[in-house]
A and B are shown apart, each in its own frame.
Chain A
Amino acid sequence: MRVELKGITKKFGSFTANDRISLTVEPGQIHCLLGENGAGKSTLMNVLFGMLHADEGEILINGEPVRFANSGEAVRHGIGMVHQHFMLVPVFTAAENVVLGFEPTKSFNRLDHKSANARILELSEKYGLDVNPEAIVENLSVGLQQRVEILKALSHDAELLILDEPTAVLTPQEIDALMEIMRSLARDGKSILFITHKLKEVRAVADVITVIRQGQVIDTVPATETESQLAALMVGREVNLTVRKEETQLGDVVLELRDVVVRDDRGLSVVNGVSLEVHAGEIVTLAGVQGNGQTELAEAIAGLRHVESGTITLRGTDITNQSPRAILDAGLGHVPEDRQRDGLVMSMSVADNLVLNTPRRAPFARRGTRNLAAVAANAADLVERFDIRTGGVDAMASSLSGGNQQKVIVARELSRPLTCLMASQPTRGLDVGSIEYVHRQIVNERNQGMGVFIISSELDEVLALGDRIAVMYAGKINGIVGPSTSREDIGLMMAGSTVGEHV
Chain B
Amino acid sequence: MSDLNAVLAATQGGDSATSKFNSGFARFASRYNSTSPVILTLLALILGFLIGAVIIMATSAAVLDAWRHSAHHLGYIPSALKISFDNVAAAYRAMLTGAVINPSQLWHSLTTGTGWDTTMTPLSETLTYATPLIIASIGVGIAFQTGIFNIGANGQAILGGVLGTAVGSLIHCPMIIHLPLLLVAGVAGGAVCGLVPGILKAYTGAHEVIVTLMFNYVVNAILLYAVLSTALQLPGQSNDISRTIDSSAFLDPLFGAKSGLRVSYGIVVAAAVVVFAIWFLKRSSLGFDFRVTGANPNAARASGINPKWIVISVFLVSGGLAGLAGAVQMASTTHYIDGGFLIGSAGIGFTAITIALLGRLQPIGIVWGSLLFAALNVGGRSMQAATGIPLDLATIIQSVVVLLVASPVLIKEIYRLRNGGQSFQMSTKGWSS
Contacts and interface: CB of A to CB of B under 8 A. Distances in A.
Contacts of A336: 302
Nearest to A344: B299
Interface stretch (B217-225, B265-273, B281-289): B281-289
B339 to A, nearest CB: 41
B11 interface: yes
Contacts of B4: 87
Given A13-B17, A368-B285, A302 B10 contact: no
A418 interface: no
A99 to B, nearest CB: 21
Contacts of A51: 7, 11
Contacts of A302: 302
B408 interface: no
Contacts of B303: 324, 328, 356-357
B304 A325 contact: yes
A325 B283 CA distance: 21
A394 B16 CA distance: 26
B306 interface: yes
Interface stretch (B109-117, B162-170, B290-298): B290-298
A359 B17 contact: no
A85 interface: yes
A13 B285 contact: no
Given A343-B299, A356-B299, A52 B14 contact: yes
A347 B295 contact: yes
A326 to B, nearest CB: 8
Contacts of A368: 284-286
Interface in A346-367: 346-348, 352, 356-357, 359-360, 365
Given A12-B10, A359-B285, A334 B302 contact: yes
B413 interface: no
B238 interface: no
Contacts of A11: 14, 17
A304 B302 contact: yes
B394 to A, nearest CB: 35
A113 interface: no
A13 B17 CA distance: 5
B99 to A, nearest CB: 36
Interface in B236-267: none
Contacts of B306: 323, 325
Contact of A346 (B3, B16, B296, B305): B296
B432 interface: no
A374 B49 CA distance: 47
A87 B10 CA distance: 19
A43 interface: yes
A369 B284 contact: yes
B298 A356 contact: no
B3 A52 contact: no
A124 to B, nearest CB: 25
Interface in A50-94: 51-52, 83-85, 87
Nearest to B286: A368
B14 A12 contact: yes
B10 A52 contact: yes
B108 interface: no
Nearest to B14: A12
A372 interface: yes
B2 interface: yes
A325 B289 CA distance: 13
Determine which residue in B1, B14, B16 has the highest number of CB atoms from chain A within 10 A of its CB, and name it: B14
Contact of B2 (A52, A85, A370): A85
B3 A84 contact: yes
A12 B13 contact: yes
A352 B3 contact: no
A46 interface: yes
A258 B283 CA distance: 42
A474 B409 CA distance: 48
Given A347-B425, A368-B284, A370-B285, A12 B17 contact: yes
A118 B10 CA distance: 39
Contacts of B291: 348
B69 interface: no
Determine which residue in A12, A14, A328, A342 has the highest number of CB atoms from chain B within 10 A of its CB, and name it: A12
B210 to A, nearest CB: 24
Contact of A342 (B6, B286, B295, B299): B299
B11 A345 contact: no
B113 to A, nearest CB: 47
A237 interface: no
Contacts of A344: 296, 299
Contacts of A266: none
Contacts of B10: 12, 43, 46, 52
17 contacts: A11-B14, A14-B17, A42-B3, A42-B6, A46-B10, A85-B3, A164-B3, A341-B299, A342-B298, A342-B301, A347-B295, A348-B292, A348-B295, A357-B303, A359-B285, A369-B283, A369-B284
Given A343-B299, A348-B292, 14 more contacts: A11-B14, A87-B1, A164-B3, A324-B303, A325-B306, A343-B302, A345-B292, A345-B300, A347-B296, A352-B288, A356-B303, A357-B302, A368-B286, A370-B288
